[in-house]
């Protein structure tokens, strides 16, 4: 089941994110305030995939810094043990349907290296590759990764 995130859900979200971080290294740096990281500046909405009260996955939408910037999809992840059940697709579809109902253009960025499953998902769902840029952050190893940018035009 996918539903809107509530404040009481944050501890479960952090636990799921910790599993993802241990297996995938996402996020690259574990945030000092993981619950705060899940609620970035400009947060518009966030959703969860849940089963019997356990958070299985998460996605968020947040507004750009400037009014002219599109809304961004971020903080999309699924617990490793629950992958392969289309939860990422369900979460992303919920976020894109929300944006489409409001006439919002969406964008997202993904680290270019070792994210082939995510990239395949975005491209299969109709996201358009829009270029790459260096990240404005560094990995724990001091590397500034390349980010692939995708856009989903207003439907």
Q: Is the pLDDT of residue 64 over 80?
A: no
pLDDT band at 66 (very low <50, low <70, confident <90, very high): low
> Which domains does the chain carry?
2-152 (3.40.630.30)
pLDDT tens-place string over residues 88-105 = 999 999 999 999 998 888
Of 116, 107, 55, 47, nearest to 76 by C-alpha is 47
Structure tokens at 135: 């990240």
- Least reliable range by pLDDT among 34-38, 76-80, 110-114, 121-125: 110-114
Q: What are phi and psi of 143, to 5 degrees?
A: -90, 140
pLDDT tens-place string over residues 48-57 = 999 999 999 9
Query: With the C-alpha atoms ordered 110, 112, 114, 119, is the resulting torsion angle positive or negative?
Result: positive
The whole-model pTM stands at 0.91
For 79-116, list the strands marked E by DSSP.
Answer: 106-111
């Amino acid at each position: 089941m996918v539903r809107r995130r509530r404040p009481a859900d944050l501890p479960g979200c952090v636990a799921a994110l910790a599993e993802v971080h241990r297996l995938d290294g996402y996020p690259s740096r574990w945030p000092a305030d993981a619950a705060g990281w899940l609620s970035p500046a400009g947060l518009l909405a966030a959703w969860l995939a849940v089963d019997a009260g356990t958070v299985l996955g998460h996605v968020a939408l947040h507004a750009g810094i400037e009014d002219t910037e599109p809304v961004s999809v971020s903080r999309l992840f699924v617990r490793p043990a629950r992958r392969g059940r289309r939860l990422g697709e369900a979460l992303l579809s919920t976020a894109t349907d929300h944006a489409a109902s409001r006439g919002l253009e969406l964008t997202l960025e993904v680290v270019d290296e070792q994210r082939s499953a995510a990239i395949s998902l975005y491209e299969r769902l109709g996201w358009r590759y829009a270029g790459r840029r260096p990240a404005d952050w560094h990995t724990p190893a001091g590397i500034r990764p390349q980010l692939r940018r995708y856009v989903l035009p207003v439907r």
